[in-house]
Amino acid sequence: MKKLISVFLTFVLLFTLNTFASAENSLKLSAKSAVVISADTCEVVYSKNMNEQLSMASTTKIMTSVLALEYGAVDDMQKVTTDMIAVEGSSIGLLDGDEISLKTLVKGMLLESGNDAANAVAHIVGGSIPAFVKMMNDKAQEMGMYSTSFETPSGLDGENHYSTAFDMAVLGAYAIKNPEFKSICEDESDVVYYGNPPYRRVFTNHNKLLDLYDGAFGIKTGFTKKSGRCLVSAVCKDGKTLVAVTLNAPDDWNDHIKMYDYAFAKVNSYDLVEDLSDIKLKVVGGTKSYTDIEMLTIPKFTTVDNLEYFDKIYIKQFEYAPVYKGDIVGKIEFYHNNIKICEVPICASETVDIMSIN
């Protein structure tokens, strides 16, 4: 294992995606297209026609939700207008003049699959449906979803609205890295407030896999006559997190159960750790001239491969006293197959008080 140390710099978390072909195609699934991947590396554990371009129905709302949560100010109330909600299909009952937050709109998409919620997000975040669709496609390209084309924010069928099982799995793996997204999609129900004036409502999650499979915590269902039943799901069990996708699957719940049973037996989970005992943070004006450091958490890493990784360590050149135990003083990045898979804050492991002057 290599260790690289440098001064601490301001950083932005980047999630880089990588794929590995799977030769396995032995499960008898109802799905026309299917895949299950490691959420950490996007390695393929099982696949069936995973690169075939198909419509993906309301699983589209995963992307719409991602863009909404990344937009910011998700708790601010927004005013609904008639043009925002002029869409057919499933609905959370939005009316002209209603006040609702972006976070509640995301809940309306992920739990109740409201097309009106998706359209409202598109207008609020993008300014118009076409502008928001461009944002969706730009984000897809950024994430490596090269076989995907979005035409609507809700997932209603369109000639240029399609994806693949693999691309949707990549999207799902990206989405659940957002704690707010994960918290919403794993709720079986939620109490929300919106309207004119806002009043109490209850949203119910349509994802039955939450009850059918131990460790399931998401992600999104979908259905149109053209696409058939579509499902993007995620499961965390024994420290391993997997994402599965089926497109056009009449028996999607059982398809996902079969894939997870197969995949969890194939992947391994490891703790990503680094011994930092030989690295000290210089402290200026303290009762000690240095402090020990440690990783704030020990992340899990799920891979089909054997564990081979290296890390890069970034720490501040020095810190002024007082330094308190738990203060963030740097970060450590972990790489697998030269792809950055995660980063963890580095913190002070002890308190160093200010030196008293007599």
What is the set of active-site residues? 58, 61, 113
* Residue 334 φ then ψ, to 5°: -110, 140
Element (H or E) spanning 280, and its range? strand 280-284
Q: Rounded CA gap, 214 and 216, in Å?
A: 6
Burial 55-83 (b: 16+ CB within 10 A, else e): bbbbbbbbbbbbbbbeeeeeeeebebeee
State both tokens at 106.
Answer: 């995301």
Task: Calculate the CA dihedral of residues 252, 121, 205, 91 and round it to 10 degrees.
Answer: -90
Beta bridge partners of 199: 194
DSSP 355: P
State both tokens at 26.
Answer: 């032995």
Only one residue has tokens 């001064």, namely 7
- Report CA torsion sign: 146, 151, 155, 158: negative
